[in-house]
Chains A and B, each alone.
Chain A
Amino acid sequence: MEQVERLLKRTLPFQVVSPETLDGIAEISRHEVFKAGEVIYGAGQPAEEVYVLVSGRVAHRIDPDIKARVHEKELQVGDVFGWAAILEGEKVRLADVACIEAAEVLKIDGARLLELLRKDVNFGEAALKSFSQLISQQYYLPPSVSERVPTTLSKVGDTRTPASNEAEPQTASAWTLTMYRAGEWLRSPDPYLMMVGFALMLGFWYLTVEVLKLPRFEDLPGLTTVVKEWFAEDPVYGMSIYTAEYYQHIWVSIRRVAIAFLLATALGVPLGLFLGWSRSFREYVFPVFELLRPIPILAWVPLAIIMFSGSETPVIFLTFLASFFATALNTMLGVESIDESYTRAACCLGANRWQVFKEVIVPGSMPYVFTGLQISVGVAWFSLVAGEMVSGQYGLGYVINTSYTMVRYPTIIIGMVTLGIVGYTTSAMVRVAGNYMMQWRLREMALGGR
């Protein structure tokens, strides 16, 4: 008996079940010995028992009418066969099985085995799943067969389960996953330490400015003053979440960044792709690019004011310029990062230059492009603020600068925090969009264990 159990424990479907179930299976299994050349069963016969090979060599030949990738197979000791006995629907042998040498097998009654597995609440399902894996992976049969393995979820006597039952436990929905992660996060010390960090930062601000009134610190707007002003229905300095002006400034800034960012992406990505793709194009264009790049974007401010009339275009131009360099450069690096052998393989398979560009260069550089776009949003906000502070009307940078000159100190902080929030939101949006469009890469990274 123990020997039987030890053997069962080595087989793929039964190694997962609970000890009690294993006992039960061992009880219902019977020994049988076949001589060399003897047929164990033939295709088309009724299937009642599942077999486990204990010793000897057995040839397994799947019925040619059934679509399997491999039809002939020699079974090893510990292999499970005759699983047709537990399939749902017609229980008919799908293969001819004959002994090459004298063989010893365990015969397990299919119906009773299923009953036992259904009773095993914890592991029965896993055992059934490994049966279906066994069918598809070791016997190379299509899903139409492996999906006929019942699940414990289905009622006894239910002849057919929808195929979706099979996949459901594997792919948790995004929502459950998020909830699970949130739960894990709450159980870790991280959120509480984070609170400690915030408390320390805000407490430092509050204490030094408003309670202790340390020299120099007392000139700064205090925490409570800023919060009161921000959420005041009737703000002292004229700007809070209740005033339309606040939203107008935010809107103007976002609009500028959006225009500049879209323009920079529309021009920068193609330029970067061409720079990386064509050697001669790069050699002609890149030197000028490199000549202009070391000049800080903000040094362009006066020149932008001279070149473009009005107060709106110079700011947008500056923001555009910053984004443009970041996007183009990263796209070019992305193209250069593509493994040369992909291009060669595509060429060998007869792709022309345009096809290589479309099928290899563009998707291959995508990860870098999105990194570039994230950087580009960041620098766009960076130079927008500078542009707005120096020239321009409206916008958050303008708010910060005028609040300083008009001694509305709490409004400066409101402007800064708002900038931080809006800036963070926009880069998060770009990141999410990037992850969404590059799910293949996330999957690749997840598979690589990163």
Chain B
Amino acid sequence: MNMKKIRRSLFSRTTLRAIVSITVFLILWEAGSRSKEWAGFTMPWIGLVPPPTSVLSVWWDLLGDTGYWQSWYLSLMRVLSGFVAAMVIGIPLGLLMAVSRTFNSITFPSFEILRPIPPLAWVPVAIIFWPTEELSIAFVTFLGAFFTVVINVLGGARSIDMRFYQSAQAMGSSQWDIFRRIVLPATVPSIVVGSSVGMGITWNVVVAAEMISGGGGGGGSGGGLGFFIWNSYVGGSYEQIVIGMISIGIAGYACSELLRGIGGFFTPWLRTR
């Protein structure tokens, strides 16, 4: 039964069209990149990008390179540390702001003043403040996810129907009961959404922070995927830039999917059959 379903979706019109569209895209890319060899003139913009075939062949050689995998590992660890810190601090803070009106009135305006400053603008300050570059990258990564997580938790709590509180109070619930039975379950979906958005931002920030600060302690090609890209650019190996971009794309996508899976586990009532 399940196999049949998979087979049907595999050979559906949608999949077919997706394959067609991606193939056309790759062919156009290849043709655009090789326009100099094939047609004798360089296409604007795309003509300067390495063609997919040579990207693939360089990637094949790179798969055995430990430095490349080291970059993956370093970036992943940074994302993870910043992200976990943002969740650990951001979720309780958001919940506290949602529960206590006074606390919200005190902190929210200050929070709103800091929020419009893009996380990357913090990079120099972070480098000045934190003793190691590793910590400063982690800090900026943390900031990227932190604001999103807090805002989402708060938004989720604010969209709770007033009547839920009122009926809970009418039936004699304590503050703790209201928090545990109403606020917490109602905010879980927005925590999930906030964390997956935050994860996307985190990858953005890590890449940029690695580019700006020069890749942390590792040096060489061991400074994370952002540094891998930047280093490839400086070294003139354009294929590796594209490889780096795709690698980050894959890593970011995998992280978001993982989070979605975990989120689905925590919000079983939202699962669609």
Chain A residues packing against B (C-beta within 8 Å): 189-190, 193-194, 196-198, 200-201, 216-217, 219-220, 280, 283-288, 291, 294-303, 305-308, 381-386, 389-390, 396-397, 400-401, 403-404, 409, 412-413, 415-417, 419-421, 423-424, 427
Contacts and interface: CB of A to CB of B under 8 A. Distances in A.
A143 B253 CA distance: 62
B212 interface: yes
Interface in B84-134: 102, 105-110, 113-114, 116-125, 127-131
23 contacts: A193-B105, A197-B110, A198-B113, A220-B125, A288-B25, A295-B245, A295-B246, A295-B249, A296-B203, A297-B204, A298-B207, A299-B225, A299-B249, A302-B229, A303-B245, A305-B233, A306-B238, A307-B48, A386-B212, A390-B211, A401-B124, A416-B121, A420-B114
Interface stretch (B15-23, B60-68, B173-181, B183-191): B15-23
Contacts of A297: 204
B230 to A, nearest CB: 6
B110 A423 contact: no
Contact of B245 (A196, A288, A300, A415): A300
Nearest to A194: B109
B158 to A, nearest CB: 11
Contacts of B207: 296, 298-299
Contacts of A190: 105
Contacts of A413: 125
A294 B253 CA distance: 6
Nearest to A424: B116
B49 A403 contact: no
Given A189-B102, A298-B211, A299-B245, A306 B233 contact: yes
Nearest to B159: A450
A68 B177 CA distance: 57
Given A200-B106, A302-B229, A306-B49, A283 B18 contact: yes
Given A306-B238, A420-B113, A296 B102 contact: no
Contacts of A400: 121, 123-124
A298 B200 CA distance: 12
B65 to A, nearest CB: 19
B233 A401 contact: no
Contacts of B256: 294
Contacts of A307: 45-46, 48-49
Nearest to B107: A197
A302 B245 CA distance: 10
Given A390-B211, A404-B127, A382 B120 contact: yes
Given A288-B25, A404-B124, A389 B105 contact: no
B118 A419 contact: yes
Contacts of A200: 106, 110
A214 to B, nearest CB: 11
A287 B122 contact: no
Contact of B204 (A283, A298, A416): A298
A389 B213 CA distance: 11
Contacts of B123: 389, 400-401, 404
Given A197-B108, A219-B129, A295-B248, 6 more contacts: A284-B17, A296-B200, A397-B121, A400-B123, A400-B124, A421-B116
Contacts of B128: 219-220, 404, 409
B248 A302 contact: no
A296 B119 CA distance: 14
Contacts of B22: 287-288, 291
B172 to A, nearest CB: 26
A390 B212 contact: yes
A324 B78 CA distance: 28
Contacts of B21: 283-288
B253 A283 contact: no
A29 B16 CA distance: 84
Interface in B8-38: 13-14, 17-18, 20-22, 25
Given A287-B21, A302-B233, A306-B49, A420 B116 contact: yes
A409 B125 CA distance: 8
B150 interface: no
Contact of A280 (B17, B25, B113, B225): B17
Nearest to A192: B105
A420 B49 CA distance: 35
B174 to A, nearest CB: 24
B212 A302 contact: no
Contacts of A382: 118-120, 204
Interface string B31-62: 00000000000000110110000000000000
A402 B155 CA distance: 37
Nearest to A396: B121
Nearest to A428: B116
Contacts of A284: 17, 20-21
A296 B25 contact: no
A421 B18 CA distance: 43
A82 B120 CA distance: 74
B49 A303 contact: yes
A197 B106 contact: yes
A302 B234 CA distance: 9
Contacts of A295: 245-246, 248-249, 252
Contacts of A389: 120, 123, 208, 212
B145 interface: no
B117 A217 contact: no
A423 B118 contact: yes
B250 interface: yes
Contacts of B81: none
Nearest to A409: B128
A68 to B, nearest CB: 41
B70 interface: no
Contacts of B122: 416
Contacts of A385: 118, 120-121
Contacts of B208: 296, 298, 301, 386, 389-390
B263 interface: no
A300 B241 CA distance: 9
B138 to A, nearest CB: 15
Pick the most buried of A284, A299, A404, A427: most chain B CB atoms within 10 A of its CB.
Answer: A299
Contacts of A396: 121
Contacts of B20: 284
A296 B21 CA distance: 22
Report the 8 A-B pairs with minimum CB-CB distance, sorted nearest first: A404-B124, A302-B233, A193-B105, A295-B249, A287-B18, A283-B17, A197-B106, A420-B117
A110 B49 CA distance: 88
Contact of A412 (B109, B125, B131): B125
